Structure 1
Amino acid sequence: MALLGLGVALAIFQDVADDQNEADGQTSDWKILKALRARGDPANPIGPKWVKESLTETSALGGVTVLAGITAVTAGGLAISGKRREALLTVGVFTGALVLSEGLKNLFKRSRPPAEYRAAEAVNESFPSGHALLSAATFISLGILFAQGARSTALRTFGLTVGAATAAAVGFSRIFLGVHWTNDVLGGWAAGSAWAATCWLAGRRRR
């Protein structure tokens, strides 16, 4: 199933990477961005004020500082409990995801949505979304880690679902805030998931 997931993630990334340079993909990106804005006011996202505030806080979960802290705490706990292999793998997933994100951004060099549509600050290139990529790699990895220690199918499913749902929420927040196109987030989710699956498959094979 992990290999199947890896294949699907890579296929999705290739598809959205092609779409972000094509007219159809750009048209759909614009439609979604405008649908999430109040009519006549591109700087104002739809919905009550608390929705924007909530999604701004959710977006922070995909930031480098937050994810680096989560990774450090998790790896430290694993190392103290004698699970050094898992600790190193956890650090490797995050570090590799960070390098992958920057490398892909420099490769594609896609511009972000216009400044008047952004409800938050953003820097560097747009594709793929770094928040989506890093959160997918990190939270899915934590879900896999939890599932490995779970004693029942229900708990394993719970761990993986929470990890995936957290990454999904972070990605949606980036689209809602207007700092990324939809294809940026889809590409980030796909690349991050593929990287997490690759690392944990490699770790399992070595073990």
Structure 2
Amino acid sequence: MHRARHALNPHTETFALAALLGLGAALAVFQDVADDQNEADGQASDWKILKALRRDGDPSEPVGPKWLKEGLTEASALGGITVLAGLTAVTAGGLALAGKRREALLTAGVFAGALVLSEGLKNLFKRSRPPAGYRAAEAVNESFPSGHALLSAATFLSLGILFAQGAKGTALRAYGLAVGATTAAAVGFSRVFLGVHWTNDVLGGWAAGSAWAATCWLVGRERR
């Protein structure tokens, strides 16, 4: 019981092992999709998924009811730089006022590092986005990896870990991590649904963002 109760506590060896395994898996996934997006099979798969999500005769409009498009447009905004920067600032500020300066710096560092990582990888791969005729939203800069997916994965997973750090009980800790992961997943899917990213862009963003979040919290744990 004691062991199960602390299995998701960021200060336990179990959490460290899980984070290390997650980091390794995320890096492996990123390597795979980074290779895949340059290959014919990967590009064909991206096109197949993109077209499956478009209306016949009007590729600029995604399938499904109007409310679905509106809901996913709002979900997409959760992965924007302005929203995530504000959320990070509010969280870090609250932590600092509570006397948790290490957590505050770590929270800010996760977002800042994720932003640098996103821009660096985009400039490295320089992949073009889906054609403008398939987009249901505005988009700028390169496509791989998805910045929204990367930043939301890093930020929301980090906030989930932060929540788990102060939560009591395995169920509550799991809830915090699940909410963070689900939010990042919704943001990533919205980018493909709206036609502003290929599927491999989002998979790469999720993987890179998750790897960065795991790295930061493992380093923070060791320093503690």
- TM-score category, normalised to shorter length: over 0.9
Report 1:108-123 matches (<5 A): 108-123=125-140
In the other structure, the counterpart of 1:167 is: 184
Please give the per-residue CA displacement for 1:49-108, whole angstroms capped at 9, x wherever unaligned.
111111101000000000000000000000000000000000000000000000000000
Unpaired runs of 5+ residues, structure 1, are: none
In the other structure, the counterpart of 2:28 is: 11
Structure 1 residue 118, shift from structure 2 partner: 0.2
State the secondary structure of the residue aligned to 1:44: strand
1:132 equivalent in alignment to 2:149: yes
Letter in structure 1 aligned against 2:165: Q
In the other structure, the counterpart of 2:165 is: 148
Counterparts of 2:72 and 2:19, CA distance in 1 = 30
State the secondary structure of the residue aligned to 2:88: helix
Letter in structure 1 aligned against 2:109: G
1:98 equivalent in alignment to 2:115: yes
State the secondary structure of the residue aligned to 2:138: coil
State the secondary structure of the residue aligned to 1:21: coil
In the other structure, the counterpart of 1:54 is: 71
Structure 1 residue 132, shift from structure 2 partner: 0.2
1:42 equivalent in alignment to 2:59: yes
In the other structure, the counterpart of 2:45 is: 28
Structure 1 residue 203, shift from structure 2 partner: 0.2
Structure 1 residue 44, shift from structure 2 partner: 1.1
In the other structure, the counterpart of 2:210 is: 193
Letter in structure 2 aligned against 1:116: G
Counterparts of 2:108 and 2:151, CA distance in 1 = 12
In the other structure, the counterpart of 1:81 is: 98
Counterparts of 1:43 and 1:131, CA distance in 2 = 20
RMSD: 0.3
Counterparts of 1:149 and 1:24, CA distance in 2 = 45
Segments ≥4 residues shifted beyond 2 Å? none
Structure 1 residue 39, shift from structure 2 partner: 1.2
Letter in structure 2 aligned against 1:179: V
How many percent identity over aligned positions?
86
In the other structure, the counterpart of 1:176 is: 193
Counterparts of 1:206 and 1:113, CA distance in 2 = 43
Letter in structure 2 aligned against 1:149: G
* Length, aligned pairs only: 207
Structure 1 residue 41, shift from structure 2 partner: 1.2
Letter in structure 2 aligned against 1:190: A
Structure 1 residue 32, shift from structure 2 partner: 0.3
Please give the per-residue CA displacement for 1:105-156, whole angstroms capped at 9, x wherever unaligned.
0000000000000000000000000000000000000000000111100000
TM-score, normalising length: structure 1: 1.00
